[in-house]
Structure 1
């Protein structure tokens, strides 16, 4: 059982409990102050033992405190925002179907937990940057963390005379790793050894060129090598101009980079790395320093991905085919291991954007937070409840749970104040961990489930390659629907970094009515991406307007390069039927025939990875991206065949006539293949061995 509690937030939302209750098959009393004077209703609900859905996210913390006050309160509590997403809008009175959909989705059970990735930090903090700023930052966190400074110049104020923390200097060769596992490699190439330097300033005073700053390193561009500083440092012995450069390395758990240019210049830097150009006065300085103070201990995050090497189209026999996941990852978490015929994902670097799973053509990489079946169930529940409550022309607005969710909430608040129109009644916001974590399998399924449009909100927080990938996916999905005869625009990437931009973009959707199937699909989204795509395409094809006039006429929908559907074109004049392409194909699209020299092809299986094209020694294969709407798409067809070559000794067929003749032509002039040796190439492997041993026996008899 589930108890749903709705509140009109001091009568600021025109909720209709009867309509909502009918849609959910549940009696829904209307509250106006559930978090205050009607809090007893909430406490009674959590005492019942039933699941509880609270239609308010603003007071989650307060409700948690109220639940803690109830003896033996065991009810799971879930929260859903119906206020900013629907109740506070110009269309609020028409938003009951959407609100019913949001409530229905909130009643779904929580997805199964995913495995986790563990980090262990001992609080060893490396601060890189000008010495004066590094020492300021160190003073603010040193009571919680073990600080080491890598000095990159004195800065405006220079270093303090008191040596409070270890200071390194030199040339950084590399800095890599993640929370709890950073490795710094550097070369000490300055005449002053900071481990021996006492900061007595004798060298600073002795240098006539002022080549030594208060970071106690010599600027070799200014130094004229008169060695006054070396003579002034005789007692300490910290300065030697004849000291050769030395290489060092060190391990750290955290990195605070105060340099103008970051040491790790990634859109999604590793966990535990923070960049504050200019020092602690940066606007985000206090927030990051507070985070650093709390990053000593053990931490976990979800393992966002699943990987199935059997489906991976990255590499075969050290030949690279698809590299879409590597190209799109902004966290540098995906790399190639082509000698192992696979990609490798570093779970410690993965930030959970899901873009790799979105662009993967085979489904070898799957998103696990949540998994596709859970996400598909949510979309189907939303759209079913929306339609059941009388909603029409549903638009799904997929947004991130960070920037996107905050922007949608701001839009709702601005609408309540009369400064914006708000989220339209037919637009259903759907929160994702990251905006790039879904692709055409779920988008096409959503249209099959009854959505008229799928929009993905990008707010500028995404990496540029993520936005490009989403645009490519949207164009591909739209090409498929247009090819099937559905009119209108079904897939959009909504770029909005402000409330006004989002309000305008959503307002433009109010009057759009793209064509969709007459019937709603009932299939369940599975864990296999290609299977889900096939189910969605089958449903969309059944009602395709393009097939109504000529139902028995095959349709070949041209698709852009890189699409995961298509055929291969084989140049029969070049193809020798060596079948190297069959061994390279990871999807079983290219097949041989054990009973005849044939190259066969099942178009449904082809993911257009290009391994066959790259592997073919004769350059006889080229890719043709398309979607064939015809029964033969799922059936094997013969791309090329040839007459078999028969062994000249036993007449057993082996190889093809074209391949053997080509081999004979290439080897005819070779010194190793003359006379009988050339004739043996015309024999099968068994006869070749027999003939060779027979010839050797005759030679021995002749010798006798």
Structure 2
């Protein structure tokens, strides 16, 4: 593939560029010599990342990776991809904050939940490795075991909660078998509400799962009981779930910023309504996030209007620094009409690789931007992308998402409203929902890039709300038509409150309820003040007002 070392050198000023043809094979000693220097290194190949990491571990060197080949080099437009390569390499060199972790611990206690002898077959595969109990829903004609290697009971799961290492299951119609069962298991009297605790739950029942977004629940494994291969695969996965496991702490939460409730009156519910795993629950004036259940989709952080919930992989401010570097270097090295393509690694990254290997690859002006989960992309990242000079933004989604992505759809809808109000024509922001790499390529080549008047260069700093406000101001400055006021849909996190002055008694209940200080009083005289920048449209003032004279007016 063509490698524009000149563009790389210009885009990564002050950084030594080393190129080779087989640094992972014939020239491996050159790589060993470089990592021995202890300097931070960005490797522009991801295929051989395990090998490079193994060698770097010997010397303690710090490695970052960027995929220039599939992202830029393997493309029908590779000859024009020099600025893109420089931008990707420069962005990859930006150090991201360390990831915080939470520990899950499993002692290997497993409940195999099934409807017939398939559950017992799976239990026999696990009995030498795990502490097994079998719960069957249809125990008719089950042959008694010659030797009781594990308990077999009957019942139906009513509810289940928890995570790897700490499941609690409520069972109805629970009964134990008689030890004198002869030709088939005979069960004694049944009862409802029996409670079972386990570390791992293997569900072979064929029934609807007991959790929302069940495949995201650590420690919960599920297979169609009619599919022997799937049952075996799930059993083998269960055997590995013993010990201590580090799980990323995806969300940072600052309770005092939360606008959920005041004085038992509910205001903001955005995170509660969006969490696919039900990891978030009300907790008085605030909400509580169970970090051991959270699967890291990031929709709560993307939607949180105050910044109480923030994504940690990476934080919004760090992600925007990387975005800033990518777009600035792309333009500085001669690139034009950049399009930011947000994607995750498992799905979007695989589509990009397949398009590069079997199709025309990505266009030279499409800059892939990897995130942990595409649903973590919030309005601040979208606003910053356009403020920094992107002419279009796309997000790759699965054709059939693993969980509800309403939060991302709402963010895109809100972003489109703001962009349209600022004069961005065409379709600057959208989702590409596909599992087909060729459909991805067609969708990207159909984009008609717009124009940005004057790209911003601001450095993001502060909390999410501060970063978002600054990004929107810079977007307004760089917009084709910098409109003064843009009407927004209901539920938007910006706006004003309108007060029927004739009916207001200045009781100041709204001031006490306002969680952000948008409403305040004057200590020297009867007066109600309003700071629109601070308003998140949580609705607590409206719900608290005894005279019912407050109306929300979402706008920007």
Q: Of 48, 51, 71, which aligns to 1:85?
A: 71
Task: Tell me what 1:124 maps to.
Answer: 109
Q: Of 532, 535, 539, which aligns to 1:603?
A: 532
Task: Tell me what 2:218 maps to.
Answer: 271
Cα 1:124/1:477, change in 2 over 3 Å: same
What SS does the corresponding residue of 2:485 show, helix, strand or coil?
strand
What SS does the corresponding residue of 2:383 show, helix, strand or coil?
helix
2:144–2:182 CA contact under 8 A, matched in 1: no
Q: How many angstroms does 1:155 deviate by?
A: 7.5
Mapping for residues 651-690 of structure 1, pairs under 5 Å:
none
Cα 1:605/1:189, change in 2 over 3 Å: closer
Q: How many angstroms does 1:166 deviate by?
A: 0.5
1:133–1:155 CA contact under 8 A, matched in 2: no
Q: How many angstroms does 1:475 deviate by?
A: 2.0
What SS does the corresponding residue of 2:362 show, helix, strand or coil?
coil
Distance in 2, matches of 1:495 and 1:365, equals 27
Distance in 1, matches of 2:260 and 2:512, equals 14
- Alpha-carbon displacement from aligned partner over 1:147-180 (angstroms, at most 9, x marks no partner): 1000111489766554321012134332221111
Cα 1:425/1:356, change in 2 over 3 Å: same
- Alpha-carbon displacement from aligned partner over 1:384-438 (angstroms, at most 9, x marks no partner): 1111211111111111122221121111111xxxxx2221111111111111112
Q: Of 329, 343, 356, which aligns to 1:399?
A: 343
Task: Tell me what 2:507 maps to.
Answer: 578
Cα 1:89/1:246, change in 2 over 3 Å: closer
Cα 1:157/1:197, change in 2 over 3 Å: closer
1:56–1:82 CA contact under 8 A, matched in 2: yes
Task: Tell me what 1:523 maps to.
Answer: 458
What SS does the corresponding residue of 2:208 show, helix, strand or coil?
coil
- Alpha-carbon displacement from aligned partner over 1:519-557 (angstroms, at most 9, x marks no partner): x3222223412211221122223344435xxxxxx8321
Task: Tell me what 2:91 maps to.
Answer: 105
Q: Does 1:349 align with 2:337?
A: no
Q: How many angstroms does 1:584 deviate by?
A: 1.0
Q: Does 1:369 align with 2:358?
A: no
Q: Does 1:314 align with 2:260?
A: yes
Distance in 2, matches of 1:289 and 1:360, equals 39
Task: Tell me what 1:675 maps to.
Answer: none
What SS does the corresponding residue of 1:604 show, helix, strand or coil?
helix
1:46–1:67 CA contact under 8 A, matched in 2: yes
Task: Tell me what 1:40 maps to.
Answer: 29
Q: Which has the higher contact order (CA 8 A, sep 6+)?
A: 2
Distance in 1, matches of 2:331 and 2:446, equals 22
Q: Which runs of 5+ in 2 are unaligned?
A: none
Count of matched residue positions in the alignment of Structure 1 and Structure 2: 554
Task: Tell me what 2:361 maps to.
Answer: 422
Q: Normalised by the size of structure 1, how large is the TM-score?
A: 0.75
Q: Which runs of 5+ in 1 are unaligned?
A: 1-12, 202-213, 218-238, 415-419, 548-553, 628-704
Cα 1:189/1:438, change in 2 over 3 Å: closer
Q: Does 1:489 align with 2:447?
A: no
Mapping for residues 616-627 of structure 1, pairs under 5 Å:
616-627=545-556
Aligned-residue Cα RMSD (Å) equals: 2.2
Distance in 1, matches of 2:297 and 2:287, equals 17
Distance in 2, matches of 1:463 and 1:61, equals 28
Task: Tell me what 1:198 maps to.
Answer: 180
Distance in 2, matches of 1:388 and 1:431, equals 22
Distance in 2, matches of 1:481 and 1:614, equals 31
1:564–1:625 CA contact under 8 A, matched in 2: yes
What SS does the corresponding residue of 1:556 show, helix, strand or coil?
coil
Distance in 2, matches of 1:255 and 1:609, equals 39
Distance in 2, matches of 1:136 and 1:464, equals 31
1:132–1:156 CA contact under 8 A, matched in 2: no
2:510–2:541 CA contact under 8 A, matched in 1: yes
What SS does the corresponding residue of 1:557 show, helix, strand or coil?
coil
What SS does the corresponding residue of 1:546 show, helix, strand or coil?
coil
What SS does the corresponding residue of 1:576 show, helix, strand or coil?
coil
1:121–1:296 CA contact under 8 A, matched in 2: yes
Q: Normalised by the size of structure 2, how large is the TM-score?
A: 0.94
Q: Does 1:500 align with 2:438?
A: yes
Distance in 1, matches of 2:369 and 2:233, equals 29
Distance in 1, matches of 2:226 and 2:439, equals 33
Task: Tell me what 1:165 maps to.
Answer: 150
What SS does the corresponding residue of 1:288 show, helix, strand or coil?
helix
Cα 1:159/1:257, change in 2 over 3 Å: farther
- Alpha-carbon displacement from aligned partner over 1:176-228 (angstroms, at most 9, x marks no partner): 211111112224466xx41x333312xxxxxxxxxxxx4535xxxxxxxxxxx
Q: How many angstroms does 1:272 deviate by?
A: 0.3
Distance in 2, matches of 1:37 and 1:346, equals 49
Q: How many angstroms does 1:253 deviate by?
A: 0.4
Distance in 2, matches of 1:103 and 1:313, equals 40
Q: How many angstroms does 1:573 deviate by?
A: 3.2
